[in-house]
Copies of this chain bind each other. A is one copy, B any other.
Amino acid sequence: MKINILGCYAATPRSFTNPTSQVLEILNNHFLIDCGEGTQVQLRRNKIKFSKIKHIFISHLHGDHFYGLVGLVSTFRLLNRETELHIYGPKGIKEIITLQLKLANSWTNFPLIFHELTSKEPELILENSTVTVTTIPLKHRVYTNGFLFKEKEGDRKLLIDKAETYNIDFSLFKSLKKGKDVMSEDGKLIPNHLVTADPPPPKSYAYCSDTVFDPEIVPLIKKATVLYHESTFLEDKADLAQPTKHSTAKQAATIAKLAEVEKLILGHYSTRYADIELFRIEASTIFPDIILADDGKEIIVE
Protein backbone atom coordinates (compact mmCIF):
# COMPACT_ATOMS: atom_id res chain seq x y z
CA MET A 1 0.00 0.00 0.00
CA LYS A 2 1.37 3.38 -0.96
CA ILE A 3 0.08 6.91 -0.57
CA ASN A 4 1.39 9.76 -2.71
CA ILE A 5 0.53 13.10 -1.14
CA LEU A 6 0.03 15.55 -4.02
CA GLY A 7 -1.25 18.35 -1.83
CA CYS A 8 -2.18 18.63 1.85
CA TYR A 9 -2.69 22.28 2.71
CA ALA A 10 -6.02 23.93 3.46
CA ALA A 11 -7.79 26.69 1.56
CA THR A 12 -5.89 28.40 -1.28
CA PRO A 13 -3.06 27.07 -3.43
CA ARG A 14 0.17 29.05 -3.02
CA SER A 15 3.54 29.18 -4.75
CA PHE A 16 4.90 26.15 -2.93
CA THR A 17 1.89 24.43 -1.34
CA ASN A 18 -1.03 22.64 -2.93
CA PRO A 19 -4.62 22.01 -1.89
CA THR A 20 -5.78 18.49 -1.07
CA SER A 21 -5.15 15.57 -3.38
CA GLN A 22 -3.54 12.18 -2.96
CA VAL A 23 -3.13 8.90 -4.79
CA LEU A 24 -3.67 5.66 -2.92
CA GLU A 25 -2.11 2.59 -4.49
CA ILE A 26 -3.69 -0.52 -2.98
CA LEU A 27 -3.39 -4.01 -4.48
CA ASN A 28 -2.70 -2.51 -7.90
CA ASN A 29 -5.64 -0.10 -7.78
CA HIS A 30 -4.73 3.59 -8.13
CA PHE A 31 -7.34 5.76 -6.47
CA LEU A 32 -7.23 9.54 -6.69
CA ILE A 33 -8.68 11.05 -3.53
CA ASP A 34 -9.76 14.69 -3.80
CA CYS A 35 -8.53 16.91 -6.58
CA GLY A 36 -7.73 20.53 -5.67
CA GLU A 37 -6.60 23.08 -8.26
CA GLY A 38 -3.27 22.06 -9.76
CA THR A 39 -3.69 18.32 -9.14
CA GLN A 40 -2.90 17.44 -12.76
CA VAL A 41 0.43 19.27 -12.50
CA GLN A 42 1.18 17.52 -9.20
CA LEU A 43 0.45 14.16 -10.86
CA ARG A 44 3.04 15.03 -13.52
CA ARG A 45 5.60 16.22 -10.99
CA ASN A 46 5.17 13.03 -8.99
CA LYS A 47 5.42 10.94 -12.16
CA ILE A 48 2.08 9.20 -11.70
CA LYS A 49 0.74 7.89 -14.97
CA PHE A 50 -2.60 9.49 -15.83
CA SER A 51 -3.81 6.27 -17.42
CA LYS A 52 -3.61 4.37 -14.13
CA ILE A 53 -6.33 6.50 -12.58
CA LYS A 54 -9.74 4.98 -13.14
CA HIS A 55 -11.54 6.07 -9.97
CA ILE A 56 -11.65 9.53 -8.39
CA PHE A 57 -13.18 10.10 -4.96
CA ILE A 58 -14.26 13.64 -3.99
CA SER A 59 -14.98 14.19 -0.30
CA HIS A 60 -16.93 17.44 -0.60
CA LEU A 61 -17.56 20.41 -2.84
CA HIS A 62 -15.27 22.99 -1.27
CA GLY A 63 -12.89 24.28 -3.89
CA ASP A 64 -9.67 23.13 -2.27
CA HIS A 65 -10.89 19.54 -2.71
CA PHE A 66 -12.19 19.54 -6.29
CA TYR A 67 -11.38 22.63 -8.40
CA GLY A 68 -8.74 20.63 -10.26
CA LEU A 69 -11.20 17.96 -11.37
CA VAL A 70 -12.61 19.59 -14.50
CA GLY A 71 -9.10 20.34 -15.76
CA LEU A 72 -7.96 16.78 -15.17
CA VAL A 73 -11.01 15.40 -17.00
CA SER A 74 -10.31 17.80 -19.91
CA THR A 75 -6.68 16.74 -20.04
CA PHE A 76 -7.70 13.06 -20.13
CA ARG A 77 -9.76 14.02 -23.17
CA LEU A 78 -6.85 15.81 -24.87
CA LEU A 79 -4.69 12.74 -24.23
CA ASN A 80 -7.26 10.65 -26.14
CA ARG A 81 -8.12 8.52 -23.14
CA GLU A 82 -10.48 5.67 -23.98
CA THR A 83 -10.93 3.84 -20.68
CA GLU A 84 -13.77 4.53 -18.28
CA LEU A 85 -13.40 7.12 -15.55
CA HIS A 86 -15.53 6.79 -12.42
CA ILE A 87 -16.11 9.83 -10.24
CA TYR A 88 -17.59 9.47 -6.75
CA GLY A 89 -18.69 12.63 -4.99
CA PRO A 90 -21.56 14.65 -3.55
CA LYS A 91 -24.68 15.30 -5.60
CA GLY A 92 -24.05 18.31 -7.82
CA ILE A 93 -20.64 17.24 -9.04
CA LYS A 94 -22.06 15.84 -12.28
CA GLU A 95 -23.79 19.10 -13.12
CA ILE A 96 -20.64 21.16 -12.42
CA ILE A 97 -18.43 19.05 -14.67
CA THR A 98 -20.88 18.39 -17.49
CA LEU A 99 -21.96 22.04 -17.69
CA GLN A 100 -18.37 23.07 -18.34
CA LEU A 101 -17.74 20.32 -20.89
CA LYS A 102 -20.96 21.27 -22.67
CA LEU A 103 -20.17 25.00 -22.84
CA ALA A 104 -16.68 24.21 -24.15
CA ASN A 105 -18.24 21.93 -26.75
CA SER A 106 -15.76 19.33 -25.49
CA TRP A 107 -17.54 16.17 -24.52
CA THR A 108 -15.19 13.37 -23.49
CA ASN A 109 -14.32 10.56 -25.86
CA PHE A 110 -14.21 8.11 -22.94
CA PRO A 111 -17.05 6.97 -20.67
CA LEU A 112 -17.35 9.39 -17.76
CA ILE A 113 -19.43 7.77 -15.04
CA PHE A 114 -20.62 9.74 -12.03
CA HIS A 115 -21.60 8.10 -8.76
CA GLU A 116 -23.35 10.88 -6.86
CA LEU A 117 -23.56 10.44 -3.11
CA THR A 118 -26.37 11.64 -0.87
CA SER A 119 -26.56 9.10 1.97
CA LYS A 120 -25.76 10.11 5.50
CA GLU A 121 -25.09 6.48 6.39
CA PRO A 122 -21.93 4.56 5.43
CA GLU A 123 -22.38 2.82 2.09
CA LEU A 124 -20.35 0.47 -0.06
CA ILE A 125 -19.59 2.44 -3.23
CA LEU A 126 -17.02 0.24 -4.96
CA GLU A 127 -16.15 -3.43 -4.82
CA ASN A 128 -13.87 -5.34 -7.12
CA SER A 129 -11.91 -8.58 -6.80
CA THR A 130 -9.31 -7.07 -4.46
CA VAL A 131 -10.78 -4.12 -2.53
CA THR A 132 -13.90 -2.48 -1.16
CA VAL A 133 -14.52 1.24 -0.71
CA THR A 134 -17.05 2.45 1.85
CA THR A 135 -18.06 6.01 2.72
CA ILE A 136 -17.37 7.48 6.15
CA PRO A 137 -19.99 10.20 6.76
CA LEU A 138 -18.20 13.25 8.18
CA LYS A 139 -19.45 16.40 9.85
CA HIS A 140 -18.30 19.52 8.01
CA ARG A 141 -19.92 22.74 6.81
CA VAL A 142 -21.26 21.03 3.68
CA TYR A 143 -22.16 17.39 2.91
CA THR A 144 -18.89 15.46 3.23
CA ASN A 145 -17.70 11.87 3.12
CA GLY A 146 -14.46 10.24 4.08
CA PHE A 147 -13.59 6.94 2.44
CA LEU A 148 -12.48 3.60 3.85
CA PHE A 149 -10.40 1.56 1.40
CA LYS A 150 -10.06 -2.09 2.46
CA GLU A 151 -8.13 -4.93 0.96
CA LYS A 152 -10.06 -8.17 0.68
CA GLU A 153 -8.56 -11.18 2.38
CA GLY A 154 -6.15 -12.69 -0.12
CA ASP A 155 -5.56 -16.33 -1.06
CA ARG A 156 -3.88 -18.61 1.50
CA LYS A 157 -0.14 -18.94 1.01
CA LEU A 158 0.83 -22.30 -0.51
CA LEU A 159 3.77 -24.08 1.19
CA ILE A 160 5.20 -25.78 -1.89
CA ASP A 161 7.61 -28.06 0.01
CA LYS A 162 4.82 -29.39 2.20
CA ALA A 163 2.50 -29.90 -0.76
CA GLU A 164 5.18 -32.00 -2.44
CA THR A 165 5.84 -33.98 0.73
CA TYR A 166 2.12 -34.84 0.94
CA ASN A 167 2.16 -35.82 -2.72
CA ILE A 168 -0.48 -33.36 -3.93
CA ASP A 169 -0.95 -32.88 -7.68
CA PHE A 170 -0.25 -29.31 -8.83
CA SER A 171 -3.71 -29.10 -10.44
CA LEU A 172 -5.08 -28.86 -6.87
CA PHE A 173 -2.88 -25.93 -5.80
CA LYS A 174 -5.58 -23.42 -6.70
CA SER A 175 -8.05 -25.19 -4.40
CA LEU A 176 -5.46 -25.17 -1.62
CA LYS A 177 -5.00 -21.42 -2.00
CA LYS A 178 -8.75 -21.02 -1.67
CA GLY A 179 -8.60 -22.89 1.68
CA LYS A 180 -10.01 -26.25 0.57
CA ASP A 181 -8.87 -29.67 1.80
CA VAL A 182 -7.69 -31.94 -1.06
CA MET A 183 -6.84 -35.59 -1.81
CA SER A 184 -3.22 -36.63 -2.24
CA GLU A 185 -2.20 -38.74 -5.24
CA ASP A 186 -2.20 -41.79 -2.99
CA GLY A 187 -5.79 -41.14 -1.91
CA LYS A 188 -5.44 -39.56 1.53
CA LEU A 189 -7.45 -36.46 2.60
CA ILE A 190 -5.01 -33.65 3.38
CA PRO A 191 -6.37 -30.90 5.67
CA ASN A 192 -5.66 -27.49 4.17
CA HIS A 193 -3.79 -26.07 7.17
CA LEU A 194 -1.01 -28.66 6.79
CA VAL A 195 0.11 -27.29 3.42
CA THR A 196 -0.83 -23.60 3.51
CA ALA A 197 -0.25 -20.58 5.74
CA ASP A 198 -2.46 -17.61 6.57
CA PRO A 199 -2.39 -14.81 3.99
CA PRO A 200 -0.97 -11.46 5.11
CA PRO A 201 -3.64 -9.55 7.05
CA PRO A 202 -5.65 -7.21 4.77
CA LYS A 203 -4.63 -3.57 5.02
CA SER A 204 -7.00 -0.65 5.14
CA TYR A 205 -6.79 3.11 4.64
CA ALA A 206 -9.28 5.51 6.21
CA TYR A 207 -9.34 9.00 4.69
CA CYS A 208 -11.12 11.61 6.84
CA SER A 209 -11.04 15.16 5.53
CA ASP A 210 -12.59 17.62 6.19
CA THR A 211 -14.26 17.05 9.54
CA VAL A 212 -14.90 18.44 12.95
CA PHE A 213 -13.75 16.24 15.89
CA ASP A 214 -16.33 13.45 15.80
CA PRO A 215 -15.93 10.21 17.85
CA GLU A 216 -18.96 8.80 16.02
CA ILE A 217 -16.65 7.79 13.17
CA VAL A 218 -14.53 5.58 15.46
CA PRO A 219 -16.48 2.33 14.93
CA LEU A 220 -16.26 2.86 11.14
CA ILE A 221 -12.47 3.14 11.09
CA LYS A 222 -11.70 0.74 13.96
CA LYS A 223 -8.24 -0.87 13.68
CA ALA A 224 -7.56 0.63 10.25
CA THR A 225 -3.95 0.17 9.19
CA VAL A 226 -3.58 3.85 8.35
CA LEU A 227 -5.82 6.79 9.19
CA TYR A 228 -5.47 10.11 7.36
CA HIS A 229 -7.25 12.63 9.56
CA GLU A 230 -7.32 16.33 8.90
CA SER A 231 -5.63 18.64 11.39
CA THR A 232 -6.29 22.11 10.09
CA PHE A 233 -5.36 23.72 13.38
CA LEU A 234 -3.32 23.27 16.53
CA GLU A 235 -4.95 23.54 19.94
CA ASP A 236 -4.08 27.26 20.05
CA LYS A 237 -6.89 27.72 17.51
CA ALA A 238 -9.36 25.18 18.94
CA ASP A 239 -11.84 28.05 19.15
CA LEU A 240 -11.67 28.31 15.34
CA ALA A 241 -11.85 24.56 14.72
CA GLN A 242 -15.33 24.15 16.16
CA PRO A 243 -17.22 26.84 14.16
CA THR A 244 -15.36 26.09 10.89
CA LYS A 245 -15.91 22.34 11.49
CA HIS A 246 -12.25 21.41 11.34
CA SER A 247 -10.03 19.49 13.79
CA THR A 248 -6.87 20.15 15.75
CA ALA A 249 -3.82 17.87 15.68
CA LYS A 250 -4.67 16.73 19.22
CA GLN A 251 -8.23 15.88 18.20
CA ALA A 252 -6.99 13.91 15.18
CA ALA A 253 -4.66 11.95 17.47
CA THR A 254 -7.53 11.30 19.88
CA ILE A 255 -9.59 9.75 17.06
CA ALA A 256 -6.56 7.63 16.07
CA LYS A 257 -6.16 6.41 19.63
CA LEU A 258 -9.86 5.64 20.12
CA ALA A 259 -9.95 3.77 16.81
CA GLU A 260 -6.77 1.84 17.64
CA VAL A 261 -5.32 2.42 14.18
CA GLU A 262 -1.69 1.54 13.48
CA LYS A 263 -0.54 4.83 11.98
CA LEU A 264 -1.93 8.34 11.72
CA ILE A 265 -1.19 10.71 8.84
CA LEU A 266 -1.85 14.37 9.60
CA GLY A 267 -2.62 16.93 6.90
CA HIS A 268 -4.88 19.75 5.67
CA TYR A 269 -2.77 22.22 7.58
CA SER A 270 -3.86 25.82 7.78
CA THR A 271 -1.31 27.95 5.97
CA ARG A 272 -1.08 30.21 9.02
CA TYR A 273 1.44 27.77 10.54
CA ALA A 274 4.97 28.18 9.24
CA ASP A 275 6.28 24.88 10.67
CA ILE A 276 4.24 21.70 10.28
CA GLU A 277 6.50 19.90 12.78
CA LEU A 278 4.32 21.55 15.44
CA PHE A 279 1.46 19.27 14.38
CA ARG A 280 3.55 16.18 15.10
CA ILE A 281 4.62 17.51 18.48
CA GLU A 282 1.05 18.21 19.54
CA ALA A 283 -0.41 14.91 18.25
CA SER A 284 2.42 12.81 19.71
CA THR A 285 1.28 13.57 23.23
CA ILE A 286 -1.80 11.41 22.49
CA PHE A 287 -0.79 8.90 19.79
CA PRO A 288 2.69 7.56 19.02
CA ASP A 289 2.86 6.67 15.35
CA ILE A 290 2.47 9.94 13.48
CA ILE A 291 3.36 10.67 9.85
CA LEU A 292 3.21 14.27 8.65
CA ALA A 293 1.80 14.58 5.14
CA ASP A 294 3.64 16.98 2.88
CA ASP A 295 3.30 17.78 -0.81
CA GLY A 296 5.26 15.30 -2.88
CA LYS A 297 5.74 12.82 -0.01
CA GLU A 298 5.43 9.11 -0.75
CA ILE A 299 4.27 7.01 2.19
CA ILE A 300 4.82 3.26 1.88
CA VAL A 301 2.96 0.99 4.29
CA GLU A 302 4.65 -2.42 4.61
Q: What residues make up the interface of A, taking CB atoms closer than 8 Å to B? A: 11-15, 37-38, 40-41, 44-45, 61-63, 67-68, 70-71, 74-75, 78, 90, 92, 95-96, 99-100, 103-106, 141-142
Q: Which residues of B contact A12 (CB under 8 A)?
A: 40, 71, 74-75, 78
> For residue A47, which residue of chain B has the nearest CB?
B15
With A38-B38, A142-B104 already in contact, the answer to whether A45 and B15 are too (CB < 8 A) is yes
| Of B71, B78, B92, B105, the contact of A67 (CB 8 Å cutoff) | B71
The reply to whether B103 and A96 form a contact with Cβ atoms under 8 Å apart is: yes
A44 to B37 CA separation, bound complex (whole angstroms)? 15
The reply to whether B96 and A100 form a contact with Cβ atoms under 8 Å apart is: yes
Inter-chain pairs besides A11-B78, A14-B44, A62-B106, 10 sampled, C-beta below 8 Å: A12-B40, A12-B74, A13-B71, A37-B68, A61-B100, A63-B104, A95-B99, A96-B96, A96-B99, A103-B142
Number of copies: 2
A61 to B104 CA separation, bound complex (whole angstroms)? 5
A271 to B111 CA separation, bound complex (whole angstroms)? 26
The reply to whether A70 and B67 form a contact with Cβ atoms under 8 Å apart is: yes
Q: Which residues of B contact A92 (CB under 8 A)?
A: 99, 103
For the complex of A and B, list the 8 residue pairs with the smallest distance between their C-beta atoms, beginning with the closest.
Answer: A92-B103, A12-B75, A63-B74, A37-B71, A61-B103, A67-B71, A15-B44, A15-B45
A92 to B40 CA separation, bound complex (whole angstroms)? 25
Q: Which residues of B contact A141 (CB under 8 A)?
A: 105
> For residue A11, which residue of chain B has the nearest CB?
B78
Q: Which residues of B contact A14 (CB under 8 A)?
A: 41, 44
The reply to whether B63 and A40 form a contact with Cβ atoms under 8 Å apart is: no
Q: Which residues of B contact A90 (CB under 8 A)?
A: 103
The reply to whether B63 and A70 form a contact with Cβ atoms under 8 Å apart is: yes
A285 to B78 CA separation, bound complex (whole angstroms)? 32
A59 to B140 CA separation, bound complex (whole angstroms)? 36
A244 to chain B, nearest CB (A): 11
9 A-B pairs (CB sep. < 8 Å): A12-B78, A13-B41, A13-B71, A15-B45, A37-B38, A63-B106, A67-B67, A96-B99, A103-B142
Q: Which residues of B contact A44 (CB under 8 A)?
A: 14-15
> For residue A19, which residue of chain B has the nearest CB?
B71
A207 to B78 CA separation, bound complex (whole angstroms)? 25
Q: Which residues of B contact A41 (CB under 8 A)?
A: 13-15, 38
A38 to chain B, nearest CB (A): 6
A129 to chain B, nearest CB (A): 33
A214 to chain B, nearest CB (A): 19
A53 to chain B, nearest CB (A): 15
The reply to whether A100 and B63 form a contact with Cβ atoms under 8 Å apart is: yes
Q: Which residues of B contact A63 (CB under 8 A)?
A: 70-71, 74, 100, 104, 106
A215 to B283 CA separation, bound complex (whole angstroms)? 65
A38 to B12 CA separation, bound complex (whole angstroms)? 11
